[in-house]
Amino acid sequence: MSQSSRLDPASVERLLTIELARATERAAVAAARWRGRGDEMAADRAAAAAMREELARLPVRGRIVIGEEESGDSAGLPVGLEIGAAAGMRVELAVAPLEGATLCAKDQAGAISIAAAASSGALLQAPDCYMDKIAIGPGYAEGVVDLDRDPAENVRALAEAKGVSTGEITVCVLDRPRHAQIVSKCRKAGACVRLITDGDVAGVIFVTNPEETGVDMYLGSGGAPQGVLAAAALRCAGGQMQGRLVLETAEQRACALRHGLADLRKKYGVADMVTGDVVVCVTGVTDGRLVGGVVLDKSGIETETLVYRSATGTVRRIGARRRPGALLNL
Ligand SMILES: O=P(O)(O)OC[C@H]1O[C@](O)(COP(=O)(O)O)[C@@H](O)[C@@H]1O
């Protein structure tokens, strides 16, 4: 009998908090070797291969539901891949071995490695399309902001709920031409807009800790798979999020239907995107407001990882230091 089959699901889930951290740590270290080298693909590939090796050791029967689109790379992490060492509990995995590949390639702040594990059927199988997103942190009444409201109205409602002026609200937005309206409306309402060039998973997660990150609200469209990863973190750390798929092509619509998403205009809340308990790990690749980046030097390798667990709402910050050369067997 394998070890995992002797463990009850709750114990497996607790074990996953550290085992999953190993996977994001290892991917982050692999990606960090490519920081500033201008090669996004190489950084992506290195992170995926490293994460795959570590996920293969998980004491579960895992299946990737959010991952890479079919790349044909045998070391990658495509959607549908069955992975894990044991024949025990079935687990769904959502992964972005390197989220913010451009940030990594340019050695800019905010590149992370992220993975989430949940029980079978718990994660929304978002197709590879955009998602319109709005998110705020914990402690507010449900519905204080809404995806279908004007950005200025959302800024005013959040300021009122927070008991501050709109000038004290900071909205994080991906710096894209498609967001020009959102940016100008938020600014006109008096809010400060923090533009990020990439990495909206971290952008959304910022709202869970406004004291540290300075971000009260996230607005705009980014990847739908990234939306599910961010929702998983919010399921653990608290906060509200709404997301709606932006299905522009017939292929994307067909893919959504194949994944069982019958209502293509549905506004998903956190609990719709992640319906059960989840564990989420985020390791920094480059320095960022959420986590510090990998430190690689003669004396060793340091990583910083945030580990979120929805069952208890625990958020751990794990700093790890390894001997030089310990890279391949973290
Ligand atoms: O660059 P686009 O097309 O606006 O897409 C936005 C998406 O790209 C990212 O900025 C980076 O994603 P990658 O790491 O896959 O390049 C995401 O965080 C975001 O959801």
* Nearest CA among 163, 177, 154 for reference residue 240: 154
Q: CB of 285 within 8 A of CB of 112?
A: yes
Name the H helices within the chain: 3-6, 9-32, 40-55, 101-105, 151-162, 180-188, 200-205, 210-213, 224-237, 250-258, 270-273
Q: Ligand 1 within 6 A of 54 CB?
A: no
Pick the atom of ligand 1 nearest to 111's CA. Answer: 14
d(CA 8, CA 194): 44
Q: Ligand 1 within 6 A of 187 CB?
A: no
| Average predicted confidence (pLDDT) for the chain | 93
Give mean pLDDT, residues 303-326: 92
d(CA 47, CA 285): 10
17 or 154: which carries more pLDDT confidence? 154
Q: What is the DSSP string of 218-285?
A: EEEEEEHHHHHHHHHHHHHH--EEEEEEE--SHHHHHHHHHTT---TT--EEHHHHB-S-EEEEEEES
Q: Ligand 1 within 6 A of 68 CB?
A: no
Pick the atom of ligand 1 nearest to 102's CA. Answer: 16
The helix/strand/coil state of 5 is helix
Q: Ligand 1 within 6 A of 221 CB?
A: no
Write down the ipTM of this complex.
0.96
10 alpha carbon – ligand 1 mean position (Å): 34
Q: Ligand 1 within 6 A of 222 CB?
A: yes
Among 34, 98, 104, 198, residue to substitute to test ligand 1 (most atoms within 8 Å of Cβ)? 198
pLDDT of residue 1: 40
Residue nearest to atom 14 of ligand 1 (CA): 100
316 sits in the region (left: phi over 0; alpha: psi -120 to 50; else beta) called beta
Residue nearest to atom 13 of ligand 1 (CA): 100
8 alpha carbon – ligand 1 mean position (Å): 37
Give mean pLDDT, residues 288-293: 96
pTM: 0.94
Among 131, 200, 241, residue to substitute to test ligand 1 (most atoms within 8 Å of Cβ)? 200
* Nearest CA among 210, 258, 206 for reference residue 230: 206
164 alpha carbon – ligand 1 mean position (Å): 32
Six token digits for residue 244 = 């709606």
pLDDT reading at 83 higher than 90? yes
Give mean pLDDT, residues 181-194: 98
Pick the atom of ligand 1 nearest to 200's CA. Answer: 18
- Write out pLDDT tens, residues 297-307: 888 999 999 99
Q: CB of 285 within 8 A of CB of 100?
A: yes
d(CA 250, CA 135): 28
Side-by-side strand order, sheet with 240-246? 192-196, 170-174, 217-223, 130-136, 240-246, 268-269
pLDDT of residue 220: 98
Six token digits for residue 313 = 């709402």
Share of the chain above pLDDT 70, in %: 95
Q: Ligand 1 within 6 A of 100 CB?
A: yes
Share of the chain above pLDDT 90, in %: 83
d(CA 305, CA 300): 17
pLDDT of residue 75: 80
d(CA 231, CA 47): 22
pLDDT reading at 3 higher than 70? no
Phi then psi dihedrals of residue 125, to 5 deg: -85, 75
pLDDT band at 72 (very low <50, low <70, confident <90, very high): low
DSSP structure class, residue 179: G
pLDDT of residue 7: 58
Among 174, 176, 196, 246, residue to substitute to test ligand 1 (most atoms within 8 Å of Cβ)? 174
- Write out pLDDT tens, residues 27-68: 999 999 999 999 999 999 999 999 999 999 998 999 999 998
- Write out pLDDT tens, residues 93-146: 999 999 999 999 999 999 999 999 999 899 999 999 999 999 999 999 999 999
pLDDT of residue 167: 98
Q: How far is CA 29 from CA 15, 111, 197, 246, 329, in A?
A: 22, 12, 22, 33, 12
pLDDT band at 69 (very low <50, low <70, confident <90, very high): confident
pLDDT reading at 81 higher than 70? yes
- Write out pLDDT tens, residues 208-250: 999 999 999 999 999 999 999 999 999 999 999 999 999 999 9
